[in-house]
Amino acid sequence: MTDYEAVIGIETHVELMTDSKMFCGCPVKFGEPPNTTTCPVCLGLPGALPVPNSEAIEGILQIGTALGCQVADTSFFHRKNYFYPDLPKNYQISQYDVPICHDGEIQVEVDGEDTKIGITRVHMEEDTGKSIHVGGGGRIHDAEYSLLDFNRSGVPLVEIVTEPDIRSAEQARAYGAELQRIVRTLGVSDARLEEGSMRFDANVSIRPAGAAELGTRAEVKNVNSLRSLQRAVAFEIHRQIELVESGGVVVQETRHWNEDSGKTTSMRSKEESEDYRYFQEPDLVPIEVSAAWRDAVREALPELPAARRARYQGLGVDARVAAVLVGSEDAIGDLFEGAMNAGGDGRLIGNWLSGEAVAWSRAEEVAIGDTPLVPAHLVELAEMVGDSTLSASAAKQVLAGVLAGEGTPGEVAESRDLIQISDSSVIEAEVDAVLAGHADAVASIQAGDNKPFGFLVGQVMRATGGKADPKQVSDLIRAKTGG
Ligand code: ADP
Ligand code: MG
Ligand code: ZN
């Protein structure tokens, strides 16, 4: 059997959260009554003229710069011509051969392996209106009728296109997740997949492993979450391999991901770019970006996720923990940041947040941001471990108590009776009692067989309800048995 390699390239659309639309003054607002945030420009009425939104250009420059792209001094708007009911002008203003940003990259990590995904281009366009298919399954082919809402028409849209550098469904997901984090860090979009402010199209092909040429691709649409992106790509790779193995050929087409069946189905044969009759937009001047503007954007960029992970690793946090702190819930990152600013121990606090806190939050189904936990608690808890007031395992129990609203770490440690016994005479008395009760174990150790040593330590820990300092216990047993 041939070994196949998957090749994937992703096109991502991101709606920018600007005050107004791309070419008119209508507000960009979600959830308004249908067709209330429209005007002659975004409805494509005859004679209406577009005026570009500089805030949107600023937003795309931020995205392109964050992705390490080159910024074109001069780029152009083009008309992409096609008919669809949600596109009242019968063309979408987009960019074609000269995009505003090009040649960047995103690095993704899967199972400890880093891969660079090239960014071919980042270009500016406008969104279309929305068709709402009523009746049937909510899709056009079995709908009773369709409604049109032009509120989204003309919302600034950024398209980010990768090189065909992705090799697995896991990498596709990691790419999508990192791009989403970058866009959210910049604050230019809320990048919500379920709501469509971020949308992925995955181009998937296969080829015999080691082949130089690309295979024929299928483009998969309608993936509404990172999980579906991974599932859809995995399904499509599998489908193509099975097809080719059974003597079939992959055709170039657009396929629809169906979340419920977990399958992709053919939608239409793929259009070629010639079909769109692109030509330069006569109503708009080129986009000119001065060196000063480009540099100002670069200098004002916030700390990006990759840099933030590296900074956390510099604080003693390991790579997987750093990925969790930067990756998931904002609240976790904010708590960690706050605790670091207050001088907390990075390694301990990072491990607690990514380990116990995440596990607690899943088990209790309470978001960490909705608990009383604040950075000062984490710092206090780390100090209690540092000065041996709490053992490492007791600290985890205290954290759970704080998350559950039982009070500050000091209060929880008291009320749950978890404070370590620091009085060495108390510990010594417990050690003596255990040694007296296990004379044969002591004898074995004294005869040179150290195996029972851990057992004896365990017995003392048990006798003290886990509150003795294990190191102190070991030291005492060693001194008394010669183990
Ligand atoms: P369009 O889909 O608009 O025609 P492109 O031809 O530029 O645009 O390709 C879009 C995406 O498809 C890019 O991300 C590119 O990397 C990817 N791609 C192109 N050819 C292949 C292929 N044979 N297999 C997988 N992905 C591909
Ligand atoms: Mg495409
Ligand atoms: Zn408008």
Tell me the mean pLDDT in the region 309-335: 90
- Taking alpha carbons only, the member of 14, 83, 79, 16 closest to residue 50 is 79
Strand partners, 287: 75
Atom of ligand 1 nearest to the CA of 162: 14
The closest of 286, 285, 287, 281 to 94, measured between CA atoms, is 281
Q: Is the pLDDT of residue 267 over 90?
A: no
pLDDT at residue 91 greater than cutoff 80:
yes
At 65, the pLDDT band (50, 70, 90 cuts) reads: very high
Distance from the alpha carbon of residue 82 to the mean position of ligand 1, in angstroms = 20
**C-alpha closest to that of 235 among 276, 263, 206:** 263
179 Cβ below 6 A of ligand 1: no
Mean pLDDT of the chain: 94
Rounded to whole angstroms, the Cα distance separating 475 from 465 reads: 18
Strand partners, 224: none
Q: Compute φ and ψ for 431, nearest 5 degrees.
A: -60, -45
Amino acid at 169: A
User: Using a 6 Å cutoff on CB, does residue 161 contact ligand 1?
Assistant: yes
CA atoms within 13 A on the CB side of 287: 30
Which of 203, 206, 241, 270 most suits a substitution to test ligand 1, by most atoms within 8 Å of the C-beta? 203
Q: Is 203 in the pocket of ligand 1 (CB under 6 A)?
A: yes
User: Does residue 118 have its Cβ closer than 6 Å to ligand 1?
Assistant: no
CA of 181 to the centre of ligand 3 (A): 30
The whole-angstrom distance between residue 410's C-alpha and the CA centroid of its chain comes to 35
Q: DSSP readout, 110-142?
A: ETTEEEEEEEEEEEEEE---EEEEESTTSSGGG
CA of 48 to the centre of ligand 2 (A): 29
Taking CA atoms only, the protein residue closest to ligand 1 atom 3 is 273
Q: Is 193 in the pocket of ligand 1 (CB under 6 A)?
A: no
DSSP letters along 218-278, please? EEEEEE-SHHHHHHHHHHHHHHHHHHHHTT-----EEEEEETTTTEEEEEEEPPPGGGG--
10 DSSP β-pair partners = 202
272 band by pLDDT with thresholds 50, 70 and 90: confident
- Each residue of 2-45: pLDDT tens digit? 899 999 999 999 999 999 999 999 999 989 999 999 999 999 99
The β-bridge relationship of strands 253-258 and 218-223 is parallel
| Pocket mutation for ligand 1, best pick of 11, 102, 220, 273 (most atoms within 8 Å of C-beta) | 11
Q: Which of 320, 260, 363, 311 has its CA nearest to residue 110?
A: 320
Give the separation between CA 339 and CA 220, rounded to whole angstroms.
43
Task: For residue 361, give the 3-state DSSP assignment.
Answer: helix
For ligand 1, whether the C-beta of 162 sits within 6 Å is: yes
pLDDT value of position 141: 82
Q: Report the pLDDT value the prediction gives residue 422, as an integer from 0 to 100.
A: 74
* pLDDT tens profile 353-403: 999 999 999 999 999 999 999 999 999 999 999 988 998 889 999 999 999
Q: How far is the CA of 38 from the centre of ligand 3 (A)?
A: 4
122 Cβ closer than 6 Å to some ligand 1 atom: no
459 close to ligand 1 (CB < 6 Angstrom) = no
Lowest mean pLDDT among 76-80, 197-201, 258-262, 387-391: 387-391
Of 240, 11, 267, residue with least CA distance to 117 = 11
What three-state secondary structure class fits 39?
coil
> Within 10 Å of residue 271's Cβ, how many Cβ atoms?
11
Report the percentage of the chain scoring pLDDT > 70. Answer: 99
What the block records as the tokens of 195 is 């709501």
pLDDT interval class at 328 (50, 70, 90): low
Does the C-beta of 79 come closer than 6 Å to ligand 1? no
Ligand 1: atom nearest CA of 203 is 26
Which pLDDT band, with edges at 50, 70 and 90, does 138 fall under? confident
Q: Following CA atoms 201, 205, 209, 212 in sequence, which dihedral angle do they give, to the nearest 10 degrees?
A: -100
160 CB within 6 A, ligand 1: no
CA angle 465, 467, 472 (to 5 degrees): 125
**Cα(11) to centroid(ligand 2), Å:** 6
Separation of alpha carbons 245 and 250, rounded Å: 11
With a 6 A CB cut-off, is 164 part of the ligand 1 pocket? yes
Which atom, in ligand 1's list, is nearest to the CA of 271? Answer: 4
**Is there an atom of ligand 1 within 6 Å of 10 CB?**
yes
Distance, CA of 318 to CA of 340 (rounded, Å): 15
- Residue 205 Cβ contacting ligand 1 at under 6 Å: yes
The strand pairing partners of 220, in sequence order, are: 202, 255
Whether residue 12 has its Cβ less than 6 Å from ligand 1: no
Any idea what DSSP says for residue 210? Answer: T
CA of 27 from ligand 3 middle (Å) equals 8
- Summarize pLDDT for 151-186 with one digit per residue, the tens: 999 999 999 999 999 999 999 999 999 999 999 999
pLDDT value of residue 83? 93
Under 8 Å between Cβ of 94 and 281:
no
What is the reported pTM?
0.88
What whole-number distance in Å separates Cα of residue 361 and Cα of residue 265? Answer: 37
Nearest atom of ligand 1 to the alpha carbon of 10: 14
Q: Answer whether 166 contacts ligand 1 (Cβ < 6 A).
A: no
Question: Which domains are delineated in the chain?
Answer: 4-296 (no CATH), 303-415 (no CATH), 424-481 (1.10.10.410)
C-alpha distance across the termini of the chain, in Å: 60
Q: Which atom of ligand 1 is nearest to the CA of 11?
A: 14
Report pLDDT for 223.
95
Angle, vertex CA 32, rays to CA 30 and CA 35, nearest 5: 110
469 or 233, which is more confident: 233
Helix (H, G, I), strand (E, B) or coil at 448: coil
Q: Give the Cα separation of 355 and 357 in Å (integer).
A: 6
With contact defined as beta carbons under 8 Å apart, do 113 and 1 qualify?
Answer: no
